[in-house]
Structure 1
């Protein structure tokens, strides 16, 4: 195993264990697992960007996804653009200008594996930006229904909504896609040449991407009582994830 990524596999293993514990808990304990998962995911993505692509890529990731994510959330809470009018509860830790500090970490956590996955599915930069943005936005088909069900945030006007997924306006998903396109375009330009080609040390992040998809479908369908978000997320995110899974090299029998 590559020495650069060995600690990242350990961190990924801890993250997976925390996520497995999530549906087995309730209330404040579950909220604590949510925060812990996001922090671990953030550390994993930023550390991987640094170790596999260097300081420039890691810095670009933090600037676009962490700082950019905080900025768009702050604008969203204050104005209702681009996600609709919504408010965060106090269950996810301290807030700044109405935004829990954990939220921009979540943008960063999933932006990096979405980008690395797109590198393996397309050759041109525009196609990669589009695929990465689509994958990141599709993840929200799992994230928002789960978090709204827990009461971590709420929309003032949650209609029109997707069939079977009340409480979240369709415009929110369009806002996610729009910001994800901007995020990925800037990340591709700012992260440098090394971040614009697949790497030999990307296996932990590709595994994270595949695990996120498969575990989200399973959790929503079986453990969280959210079958419709399992269906929507499974179909839409699957359109990006399944082709990647089919392209992975197979070990000889």
Structure 2
């Protein structure tokens, strides 16, 4: 999916690549801090499903953050929200709702697990605030914000995890 999003991004410029690098590093770093302190999202650890790990964090997690933020940002832009703060707020609401449906499925399929079975509310607050910051960056960086494949990716991810969630109950 990452390669599809990069390939389908029109008029790639340095700001687009800066977005990718910052989002990957920020996503990986916040997970690294989160896992090792328990202070951001709550106490959790990664299972084996997401593959190769460095310092207990799957290398794929930065890619996941890119895909979620990029596709949510493009979804918000596609519905015509022009105000940067409002766009970041709506986008981070979408991202947090996505996490809400991902969490139970992720636990079931060993993406990650929580110290207690209950998902701490701070997880959703952290997802909202962190995604707001990344979406604000996304909105501000001067690269073309039109990629018809990206909103489809976001909606597909949401529906995929929602279906798995419903089927598991």
TM-score by length of 2: 0.88
The reply on whether 1:123 has 2:78 as its aligned counterpart is no
**C-alpha offsets along residues 178-220 of structure 1, whole Å, 9 cap, x if unaligned?**
110111112222x20533xxx3xx2222222232233333332
**C-alpha offsets along residues 15-69 of structure 1, whole Å, 9 cap, x if unaligned?**
xxxxxxxxxxxxxxxxxxxxxxxxxx222223333xx141234313312321110
Quick one: structure 1 residues 82 and 206, their matched pair in 2 at CA, closer, same or farther if it must change by over 3 Å?
Answer: same
CA distance in 1, matches of 2:27, 2:155: 23
Contact kept, 8 Å, 1:44 with 1:109, in 2: the verdict is no
3-state SS of paired residue (1:92)? coil
1:18-167 map, 5 Å: 41-49=1-9, 52-119=10-77, 120-158=79-117, 167=118
Segments of 5+ residues of structure 1 without an aligned counterpart are 1-40, 159-166, 227-253
The number of residue pairs the alignment matches comes to 168
Runs of 4+, deviation exceeding 6 Å: none
Alignment partner of 2:134 out of 183, 204, 210? 183
Provide the alpha-carbon RMSD of the alignment: 1.9
Segments of 5+ residues of structure 2 without an aligned counterpart are none
**C-alpha offsets along residues 73-117 of structure 1, whole Å, 9 cap, x if unaligned?**
111111113101111123432211110111111111121110011
Q: From the CA coordinates, give the structure whose radius of gyration is larger.
A: 1
CA distance in 2, matches of 1:135, 1:113: 10
Contact kept, 8 Å, 2:16 with 2:143, in 1: the verdict is no
* Post-superposition offset of 1:142: 1.9
Quick one: structure 1 residues 92 and 218, their matched pair in 2 at CA, closer, same or farther if it must change by over 3 Å?
Answer: closer
TM-score by length of 1: 0.61
